[in-house]
Amino acid sequence: MAFYASILIGIVASCRFFARFKKNVIWILGAILGIYVGRLGSLITATKIRSMIKESSSIWQIIMVNNIFFTLLGLTIGVSIGFRYKKFLSRAGTALLGAYFLIRGISRYVGKFPEAF
């Protein structure tokens, strides 16, 4: 029962937040999308780093700096795109996030899908 109550409270709070700040929160959606794209870029480059550097005691530090760099880069680009293209981003970003959560929910329900990248 507490689970459903917390979901209801979260939905009401987010609706109130977005209703109040509707015209100024699109950059948050751009930031989230930028972080996802930055994370994807960091995973691709981390794979290349692992293949180039086979044995090293500091490889985890290199990969961590790589992850932070690409996440911040994606965040910066996402926020700047969010400010420029508010209408397009609200449509495309909502569609992409909705598709992600749909597939994530199906994978949690069905099982035997990759857990997370």
For 15-27, the pLDDT digits (tens) are 666 666 666 677 7
Whether the Cβ atoms of residue 80 and residue 27 lie closer than 8 Å to each other: no
Confidence of residue 95 (pLDDT cuts 50, 70, 90): confident
Please check whether residue 6 lies inside any domain of the structure: no
Q: What is the pLDDT of residue 51?
A: 85
Count the Cβ atoms, other than its own, within 10 Å of residue 37.
18
Please check whether residue 54 lies inside any domain of the structure: yes
pLDDT tens digits for range 61-73: 888 898 999 989 9
Number of domains in the chain: 1
**Whole domain around residue 74: which residue ranges?**
25-110
Between CA 17 and CA 23 the distance in angstroms is 11
Whether the Cβ atoms of residue 38 and residue 70 lie closer than 8 Å to each other: yes
Please check whether residue 15 lies inside any domain of the structure: no
Please check whether residue 87 lies inside any domain of the structure: yes
Q: What is the pLDDT of residue 15?
A: 66
Between CA 76 and CA 70 the distance in angstroms is 10
Please check whether residue 45 lies inside any domain of the structure: yes
C-alpha distances in angstroms, 97 versus 4, 79, 104? 22, 16, 10
User: What six digits make up the tokens of 77?
Assistant: 């680009």
pLDDT surpassing 60 at residue 117: no
**Geometric angle at alpha carbon 103, from 33 and 19, rounded to 5°:** 50
Q: Could you tell me how far CA 92 lies from the centroid of its own chain? A: 14
Please check whether residue 1 lies inside any domain of the structure: no
pLDDT tens digits for range 72-82: 998 898 888 88
pLDDT surpassing 80 at residue 11: no
0.85 surpassed by pTM = no
Please check whether residue 8 lies inside any domain of the structure: no
Please check whether residue 7 lies inside any domain of the structure: no
Cα-trace Rg, the chain:
18
Q: What is the pLDDT of residue 69?
A: 92
